[in-house]
Amino acid sequence: MSSAWVTQNGTETELTIWPGENLLEALRRGGFFVNAVCGGKGTCGKCRVILEGKDAARESVLACQTVFSDSIRRILLPEDDSDSMDVETGGREGGSPVIPLPRRKKEGGTEEQYGVCVDLGTTTVVTELYSLTEGRQAGQRSGRNRQSVYGADVISRIQYIQEHEDGLEELTVCIRRQIFDMMREICREAEIPEDRVTEMSLAGNTIMQHIFAGLSPVSIASAPFRPETLFLDGTALDGGSWDLPAENPVCWPGLTVRLAPCASGYVGGDIVAGLLAADARKQPGRYLFLDVGTNGEMALGGQTGLVCCSVASGPAFEGGELTCGMTSTAGAVNRVVLTADGGDIVFDTIRGEPPKGICGSGLIDLLAVLLRTGIVNAGGRLLPPEDARAGGAPEPLCRRLTEDENGNGAFWLDAGHRVGLTAGDVRKLQLAKAAIMAGIRVMMRTVRAREQDIRQMYIAGGFGRHLNPDSACAVGMIPEGLRDRITYLGNASLEGARKALLEEGGRIQLMSIARQCHYLELSGNAAFNEEYMEQMSFGKEE
C-alpha cells in the first residue's frame, strides 16, 4: 500500500492507495469530488486531473482510465465548486418561500421539535430545517449531489451498483452522509440540539429515493421497469438503522424519514411533490407540468386525474456530456442574446464571473440564436465559417466559428476557444429537445387535448428558473401555443416536501396525487417513436 498527496480547493490531504488501484475509485473512496459525468467509462473527458511524479514531472490524465503507481507523489484536482452552485431553494419565482401555518401546537413544558425537508436531486441536494411548532425556517444548505462522482445520471449509478458488490451500500452511505452532514451543519449554526430533529420529508426521483433507503434500484433499469416499492403505503424509515453506533455519520437516531410517494419507476416523488406545490388540481381545466433535469418528467391533467411520463433527455440540459457543459455554478453562461442590431451576441454568467462553461438555459439560448441566424440549419448541422457566410450569417458571428475535422462548425463565446458549442453538442441537444416535445405531444394525444385546451404550463426546477420561453419555443422544446401561459415554480420538489412536512393533511394529499397519476410507458410506444422522429427537426429546410 502506498500514498499520495491530493490537492483540492487549496487543501492538501494524504490519500492511501493500493498500487494498481483505479485512480477514480481511490479518489471516490477518499471522499474527493471528481466530475465523472459518464460514470468512469472514459467517454466524457471530465475527470481530468494532474499527476505529479517524484521527479516533479506533471502529466494530465483521465482519473477513470489511470491506475495508481508508486511513482505518483501528488494528485492535483480541479476545484470542487459545489458551494458555488446556483441552486433554487425558494418557491415560485418572484417571492420567498411560503411558510405555511404550523400543524402542531407547543404544549406547556414540551421542548421545541424540528423537521427537515429535502429535495434529493440527481445533480443537487437541498436541505431545510423547520420548527414543527412555529413553522419558521431554522436554516438551509445546498450543494452538488456527491453521488455525481459515480455518474451524472441515474443509469450510470445503477450500472455502478450492478458492477460492484458493495455498490448499493457505497452510494447509500454517500448520500446519507451528505444529507446528515448538512443537517448537522444547520444544527450547529442555529445552536439546535440534534436530538430535537425528529422528522424528515424527502422528495426525489424513484431511483434516488431507493438508493437513500438502501433498496436496490436495478429493476427500474430494464423492462418492465418496476421499482421495489412506490412508497404508497406511507412507509417510514428509521434514520438510526443499520445497527451502527449513534455517532456514525450515516445514522440519525430518533429520526423518522418519510419519502414522497412515486407514480412509477421514472416519475418519482419529486414530481408528485411538485404537483402538490403547483396546487393546480383544485383549479378547473387542464394543465401541463414539466420538470427538466437529467431526465424530463411531465404530467398533463386536471381535477379528474393525470397522465404522466418520463423521457430520457439525458444530462444535456444540466451540462452533462457536452464539450463545455456545466452545472449552474459560478462562471456558467446562463443567458445568451443577440445584440440590438442582430450582428453579434452578448451573454451573462452566474455571479458575473469569467465564463467557464455553459449551463442548460444558456445552451438553449445559444442554440436559439444559432438557429435564428442560420448558423445551425433545420436539420441540426452547425455550419462551418464559409458555409455560414454563404448563407448570410452576420460576419461577427462567423468570426466566432471554426471548422472541425468532419467539416462541421464549432461556435465559440470567447476568443480563446475555451467555451463554446460543437456539432456533437448540437446533436445531443437536438435529441433531448425532441424527447421532451414528443413526450408532451403523446400525453396530449392520450387525453385528446389541444394546445388551446391547456390553461397553464408549470415549469419546475432550477433549469426552468432561467429558461427563456422564446428560446425554448424556438428550438422546439415546448409548444409555441403555451409560450404565454407559463408559470415558473422554482424548486417545486422542495416546496412539496415542505408542505408534506408542515401542513395539515400534506402527506394525505401527496398520496392522493400519486394514486391519480396514470403512467404512460414510452419504451416501445409507436406513437412516441413517431412523434420523436417528427420533433427531431428544427423546422423546414429552406
Number of other CB atoms surrounding residue 486 within 10 Å: 18
CA 271 to CA 274: how far, in whole Å? 5
Question: φ, ψ for residue 344 (rounded to 5)?
Answer: -150, -175
Output the pLDDT for position 410: 97
CB burial of residue 58 (10 Å; 0-12, 13-18, 19+): exposed
For residue 391, name the pLDDT band (cuts at 50, 70, 90): very high
CA 305 to CA 180: how far, in whole Å? 36
The mean per-residue pLDDT over the stretch 401-419 comes to 95
Is the N-terminal amide bond of 224 cis, ω within 30° of 0? yes
Name, in order, each residue with C-beta under 8 angstroms of 188's C-beta and a sequence gap of 6 or more. Answer: none
For residue 99, name the pLDDT band (cuts at 50, 70, 90): very low
In this structure, are residues 302 and 285 in contact, taking their beta carbons and an 8 Å threshold? yes
- pLDDT reading at 541 higher than 50: no
In this structure, are residues 323 and 421 in contact, taking their beta carbons and an 8 Å threshold? yes
Name, in order, each residue with C-beta under 8 angstroms of 118's C-beta and a sequence gap of 6 or more. Answer: 125, 126, 127, 128, 179, 200, 201, 202, 203, 204, 494, 497
CA 246 to CA 243: how far, in whole Å? 9
Output the pLDDT for position 94: 34
Q: What is the mean pLDDT of the chain?
A: 88
Identify residue 187 by its one-letter amino acid code: C
Identify residue 459 by its one-letter amino acid code: I
Percent of the chain with pLDDT over 90: 67
The mean per-residue pLDDT over the stretch 478-494 comes to 94
Output the pLDDT for position 97: 34
Name, in order, each residue with C-beta under 8 angstroms of 443's C-beta and a sequence gap of 6 or more. Answer: 288, 298, 299, 300, 307, 308, 309, 449, 520
In this structure, are residues 276 and 501 in contact, taking their beta carbons and an 8 Å threshold? no
For residue 484, name the pLDDT band (cuts at 50, 70, 90): very high
CA distances in angstroms from 106 to 72, 102, 113, 134, 502, listed in the order given: 59, 10, 9, 8, 14
Instruction: Give the tens place of pLDDT for each residue, 338-359.
Output: 999 999 999 999 999 999 999 9
Instruction: Give the tens place of pLDDT for each residue, 110-150.
Output: 689 999 999 999 989 999 999 998 899 999 999 989 999 99
Name, in order, each residue with C-beta under 8 angstroms of 465's C-beta and a sequence gap of 6 or more. Answer: 88, 93, 488, 490
Q: Which residue has the cell 431511483?
A: 207
Q: Which residue has the cell 475555451?
A: 418
The mean per-residue pLDDT over the stretch 312-330 comes to 79
CA 22 to CA 63: how far, in whole Å? 8
Tell me how far apart the terminal alpha carbons of the chain are, to the nearest angstrom: 64
In this structure, are residues 268 and 204 in contact, taking their beta carbons and an 8 Å threshold? yes
The mean per-residue pLDDT over the stretch 234-255 comes to 74
Going from the N-terminus, what domains does the chain have, and what CATH number goes with each? 2-80 (3.10.20.30), 316-427 (no CATH)
SS3 512: helix
Strands (E), 254-379: 256-259, 286-292, 296-302, 305-311, 332-338, 345-349, 357-358
The mean per-residue pLDDT over the stretch 529-538 comes to 95
Q: Write a three-state SS string for 488-508.
A: EEECHHHHHHHHHHHCCCHHH
